[in-house]
Amino acid sequence: MGRLSLRSVYLGLAAPVGALLFALLVCAAILGATGHPPLEVAEAMVGSLERPRTAANSLNSATTYYLSAVAVAIGFKMRLFNIGVDGQYRLAAMLAAALAGASFMDALPSVLRIAMTVGAAMLVGAVWAGIAGFLKVTRGVSEVISTIMLNAVATALVAFLLNPDRLAVTVAGSNNIGTPTITEGGRVPGFGYPGSSSDVFGLILLAAAVGVAYWFMLNRTRFGFDLKATGQSQSAAVASGVNVKRMVLASMLLSGAAAGLVGMPQLLGASYSYALDFPAGLGFTGIAIALLGRNHPVGMAFAALLWGGLDQTSNVLDLSGVPKEIVVIMQGVIVLSVVIAYELVRRYRLRLEQRDVGRALGTAPAAEEVRA
């Protein structure tokens, strides 16, 4: 490994950087073709990042996105596609918000309240993901389909429960409805950001802790080893004594528990209630970020920051008449081109390795053998 390290670093960076450049080119072309000078758009976006408020909001978005990405990555590591993070976090956030806002919670000490809220969210997320895991190991139902279905069922359930007859109350002064507002003791205070009116989520620390825990689990525990082994070669994992069914269920539950956390920074740091306007679709953002960051705890952090920055700075674009969806297009192109780039790099690396082996053995492999 030592000899190859420089090359593997450069190869590892080639894919994301190449994909980013490609996405920039595509978006510049689209902007140019629709009569918006690309450089001015880029300048406006970068300029807005210097505003403290935008920077703080970018950090906040990145916090949520990172949690979502970790939830997705736990499944991805063993080739389990948890498309259902979206439904899991919305249901979890909604029920946790109802619990945290309930009046009997007022009497409890603040730490306990927050712990109970977060714990409830993790539990709900795990249960909802567990349904898909259970169906997969007992009935052989593809988790892709079942989690997509469960997303829709979660949407219906949230709509059902978020009703003034049930868990919701009308938000004062608007026609919005939401769970009862969480009182002071149940909130997580944020960090002030110099010059910004909005705080940075206090639960950004939770995201960091989840990242560390994810790293520790993957690299320092038996479970993480089994997880990676199952993902890379199921037959090899089975041969070395891994119970794949149990791994599927366990990683689905873990993934769901992490998904339950996704809504927490927003809920306990800014909204204080789950209302109709609670951010949706974060689960899909998580998929994109996990792909871009290659399921790596640090890689995903950079990807989440990039995504958060893109989302927040795009808000200035609408003012200058450029549809801000150009950023969504850019994100989509990044995801698609980054997976293609990773695949190309993988093939290239395989070819290099085979050439190295051939050189070491003194025989150059014939062209047909060099095939990924």
Positions that interact with other proteins (CB under 8 A): 30, 34, 78-81, 83, 135-146, 148-150, 152-153, 155-157, 159-160, 163, 230, 234, 244-245, 248, 284, 287-288, 291, 323, 325-329, 331-333, 335-336, 339-340, 343-344, 371-372
Q: 141: how many CB neighbours lie within 10 A of its CB?
A: 16
Q: Cβ of residue 134: shortest distance to other proteins, in angstroms?
A: 9
The residue (of 99 and 247) whose beta carbon lies closer to other proteins is 247
CA angle 261, 262, 266 (to 5 degrees): 105
Q: Cβ of residue 271: shortest distance to other proteins, in angstroms?
A: 21
Q: Cβ of residue 120: shortest distance to other proteins, in angstroms?
A: 22
The residue (of 83 and 105) whose beta carbon lies closer to other proteins is 83
The residue (of 245 and 359) whose beta carbon lies closer to other proteins is 245
Q: 245, 261, 158, 171: which is closest to 209 by C-alpha?
A: 261
State the alpha helices, DSSP H only, in the chain: 5-33, 38-49, 52-76, 85-101, 110-139, 143-161, 204-220, 222-232, 234-239, 244-261, 264-266, 282-292, 297-313, 315-319, 326-361
The residue (of 116 and 144) whose beta carbon lies closer to other proteins is 144
Q: 333, 348, 285: which is closest to 16 by C-alpha?
A: 333
Please tell me what DSSP assigns to residue 37: -
Q: Cβ of residue 257: shortest distance to other proteins, in angstroms?
A: 20
Dist. CA 271–CA 181, nearest whole Å: 8
The neighbouring-strand residues paired with 169 are 178
The residue (of 9 and 159) whose beta carbon lies closer to other proteins is 159
The residue (of 83 and 124) whose beta carbon lies closer to other proteins is 83
Q: Cβ of residue 349: shortest distance to other proteins, in angstroms?
A: 14
Q: Cβ of residue 104: shortest distance to other proteins, in angstroms?
A: 26
